[in-house]
Structure 1
């Protein structure tokens, strides 16, 4: 929510999954009652305009079903899906049933999914990023932004795969180290850009620059990974 606010938007949060976590790992997670989520979505949609949707940890397949029900009624809203599967510390946030339901029902409704390298390999059932992305595209994904934060090298390379002839890549300076919540921050920032009317590519570019800045000012809030400083104001 801080990232969305920093980029000039107002977040309308819907709770889908409660977690037990710190800066080191996730130790437990429990999905919110799907009927309560349905009521949250109905209440928000009746009160305020929604210009983009960003999804994160969803808890279980029943939650996906409720979300899909909502999105099918609002087909013009761009959806940015961060397919949260594992915490950086290794804790599980999605079981096989949830993964299957996301792939079958949610991904075809999303404008973009933003898996990291580990998530992309699991979802695309292939260690080669391009082939894994191709498999996801063939099953209904509109676009796959494969993020490179878990890799090595001087630069982080994020690659956008869609139905164009060639993928598009961005290189961002790698600061080094591991940070808690960079994937979530990136997806939220992309959604904020889309809500403000930026094209998908422009939203990606702005989001990458924003995340880079939050990492430069990362906060040592606990005993684990530093947290990106999402409270910084972004000047457009």
Structure 2
């Protein structure tokens, strides 16, 4: 029997289409995966920022996940905005019966415009209840600072931050994204528990179109995991995909603020799982 590589995203929606569930499903499709979703919150936003957030009841979030996994199943799962402790606990409860599915958590703690997207109790639940189930955590530097309660202001601070995150959070691996730092050469650090860190470099692209890059990267890694790649190779390919998507969309104008990347610069056909 033929089977598609299947990826599930558990996240909030973005009415502007550049981030959240919409970016995740675009990324899954562009990389040849069958995408599914469980929506945790409905947001009102555009390229200028987030103006409203309406959470989906946790029981409905849990039911969405249960219905997808009990019937269609998933080869990988990406988790994004969870908004509150009850939602985090609902997601953790729904995923507990599936320890063999690789899971990528993008800890969406605040929007790029500075709006808080999860409460304090939610952050605690994320660390204590959900992180033990997670294969890969993908924080940016502001998110790492929140999780560690300390500043990470230079590239030389990032390796220590990755190690500290692995000590604090019981996940398998961390991908710390350095895109918020100044300079023309960007660096991300990937570290699996018990292994040496790996660095990924990219030249900074001069463009306002970087809305949803965190969502896109984490969902790209999940897509490659769904297709059967190792975690390290999934991170490598996901990182490369994001850089190409940024480059391909740098000159387009979408809205008056921070536009999206070009997810479909070179789409793959929906095919069989390896």
Where on the TM-score scale, by shorter chain, does this alignment land: which range?
over 0.9
Ranges in structure 1 where 5+ consecutive residues have no aligned partner:
none
CA distance in 2, matches of 1:88, 1:3: 20
Partner of 1:209: 240
> Contact 1:142 / 1:162 at 8 angstroms: preserved in 2?
yes
Partner of 2:189: 159
Bigger relative CO (Cα 8 Å, ≥ 6 apart)? 2
Partner of 2:105: 81
Residue 68 (structure 1) aligned with residue 92 (structure 2): yes
TM-score (norm 2): 0.82
Q: Secondary structure at the residue paired with 2:264? A: coil
Q: In the comparison of the two structures, how many residue pairs are matched?
A: 236
Report how far residue 165 of structure 1 moved.
4.8
Partner of 1:100: 124
Q: Secondary structure at the residue paired with 1:153? A: coil
Q: What pairs up with 1:109-148 in 2 under 5 angstroms?
A: 109-128=133-152, 129-139=158-168, 140-148=170-178
Q: Secondary structure at the residue paired with 1:189? A: helix
Residue 226 (structure 1) aligned with residue 265 (structure 2): no
Report how far residue 161 of structure 1 moved.
2.5
Ranges in structure 2 where 5+ consecutive residues have no aligned partner:
1-24, 153-157, 270-274
- 1:140-160: per-residue Cα shift (whole Å, max 9, x none)? 122110011111222211101
> How large is the RMSD of aligned CA atoms in angstroms?
1.6
Q: Secondary structure at the residue paired with 1:159? A: strand
Residue 16 (structure 1) aligned with residue 40 (structure 2): yes
Moved >6 Å (runs of 4+): none
> Contact 2:29 / 2:267 at 8 angstroms: preserved in 1?
no
Report how far residue 199 of structure 1 moved.
0.8
TM-score (norm 1): 0.94
